[in-house]
Amino acid sequence: MVFHQIGEASGRSLSISPEALRRRVETLRRLDYRFVTSREAARASRTDRVAVIQFDDGFESVYRVAFPVLRDLGVPGTTYVIWSRLNQPGSLSTAQVAELRAAGWEVGTHSHSHAALADLSPGGLRRELSPPDAGRAEAADVQCVAYPLNRHDARVRREASRQGLNCGVAGGPPPLSRADPMALPAPAITPWDDALLPMRSRWGLDARAPLMAAGVLLPILDGVGRPHPAAPPPAPGMPRIMSFSATA
Ligand SMILES: [Zn+2]
Predicted local confidence at residue 1, as pLDDT: 74
Question: How many C-beta atoms surround the C-beta of residue 161 within 10 A?
Answer: 16
Predicted local confidence at residue 39, as pLDDT: 94
Rounded distance from Cα 44 to ligand 1 centre (Å)? 25
CA-nearest of 122, 121, 170 to 144 is: 170
Rounded distance from Cα 168 to ligand 1 centre (Å)? 13
CA within 13 Å, CB half, 154: 0
Rounded distance from Cα 229 to ligand 1 centre (Å)? 9
Burial 185-198 (b: 16+ CB within 10 A, else e): bbbbbbeebeebbe
Task: Supply the pTM of this predicted model.
Answer: 0.79
At residue 23, the 3 state secondary structure works out as helix
Rounded distance from Cα 149 to ligand 1 centre (Å)? 6
DSSP conformation letters of 203-218? HS--THHHHHHTTSSG
Amino acid at 48: D
Q: Give the H/E segment covering residue 146.
A: strand 144-146
Predicted local confidence at residue 114, as pLDDT: 93
Rounded distance from Cα 139 to ligand 1 centre (Å)? 18
**Cα–Cα distance between 140 and 192 in angstroms, integer?**
37
Rounded distance from Cα 114 to ligand 1 centre (Å)? 6
Rounded distance from Cα 202 to ligand 1 centre (Å)? 30
Q: Which residues place a Cβ less than 5 A from the ion ligand 1?
A: 56-57, 148, 228
Q: What φ, ψ does residue 227 adopt, rounded to 5°?
A: -65, 145
CATH number at residue 219: 3.20.20.370
Express each pLDDT in 157-170 by its tens digit: 999 999 999 999 88
Rounded distance from Cα 120 to ligand 1 centre (Å)? 16
CA-nearest of 184, 188, 185 to 221 is: 188
CA-nearest of 65, 152, 80 to 111 is: 80
Predicted local confidence at residue 233, as pLDDT: 43
> How many residues comprise the chain?
248
Number of domains in the chain: 1
Q: Residue 165 is part of which domain span? A: 2-244
pLDDT < 50: residue spans in the chain: 8-15, 134, 176, 215-248
